[in-house]
Amino acid sequence: MTLENISANKSFGGWHKQYTHHSTSLNCQMRFAIFLPPQIASGQSVPVLYWLSGLTCTDENFMQKAGAQRLAAELGIAIVAPDTSPRGDDVPDDAEGSYDFGLGAGFYVNATQAPWQRHYQMYDYVVSELPALIEANFPVTTERAISGHSMGGHGALTIGLKNPDRYRSISAFSPITNPVNCPWGQKALTGYLGTDQQTWLEYDSCALIAKAEQQLPILVDQGTQDNFLSEQLKPDALIAAAEQANYPITLRLQEGYDHSYYFIASFIEEHLRFHAEHLVR
């Protein structure tokens, strides 16, 4: 598969780069960003943290706003940030142009409904196609962790919970924890999967924790002044599901923080160190 390097910036001795490629999962051109730490210059292969962004975001939000590169360079961890949905003139978008469905809002599911199913296969892209591409073209190991914010936090939790053999650890900022019971999730899951709510449960963290047979370390941070806290994110539902299933999760309520990247930048170093404990040996 052909990768086209479209930007490169040196950062903390490593490199932040953007690439485009044709995705066979999504049937369109896709872009991703990768931070390669300085250890690769000496021939070392490094583990990878996959970051999934939220509604309306692209690969650029995290890489430009989170301030993760300094510590990732110190710890020797690569970071890969895909886009949040398929893109392009042939890719359908929400007819009303809303921000929470269609372009920028792929929700990290495999769509089954027309016209979305041809392109909106973000679950397969993140779980299979993108890691295979990264591991074939960059000096990385098969040691992976996954993290994300909001819709991307939902993606990180559900993908990690469904694939415990593929990841060492999971973390999330302000995740949509119970999408079957919140407006964002209900809109996206109805559109992409249809009205059979049993199919929605395959993309609901609370439902997945209830039937998990293998446990991964999970760290979640949630700001107490988040405008979406009670209606959309529902961290209490995640804690209740984890307690019921005896699944150990660290969920921290951070006083005064909101839903923004100011919040993420404040705690990203703790998340990187958390993942490093499980990735770097």
Q: Which of 119, 149, 154, 259 is catalytic?
A: 259
What whole-number distance in Å separates Cα of residue 42 and Cα of residue 45?
Answer: 9
User: H-helix or E-strand containing 34?
Assistant: strand 28-36
119 in catalytic set = no
What whole-number distance in Å separates Cα of residue 145 and Cα of residue 95?
Answer: 35
45 in catalytic set = no
In this structure, the chain runs to a length of 281
What whole-number distance in Å separates Cα of residue 167 and Cα of residue 216?
Answer: 8
258 in catalytic set = no
C-alpha distances in Å from residue 160, one per residue of 216, 240, 246? 8, 19, 17
Q: Which of 169, 226, 271, 275 is catalytic?
A: 226
Q: Which of 11, 53, 150, 171 is catalytic?
A: 150
DSSP β-ladder status, 218-223 and 170-173: parallel
Q: What is the DSSP letter of 181?
A: G
Residues serving a catalytic function are 150, 226, 259
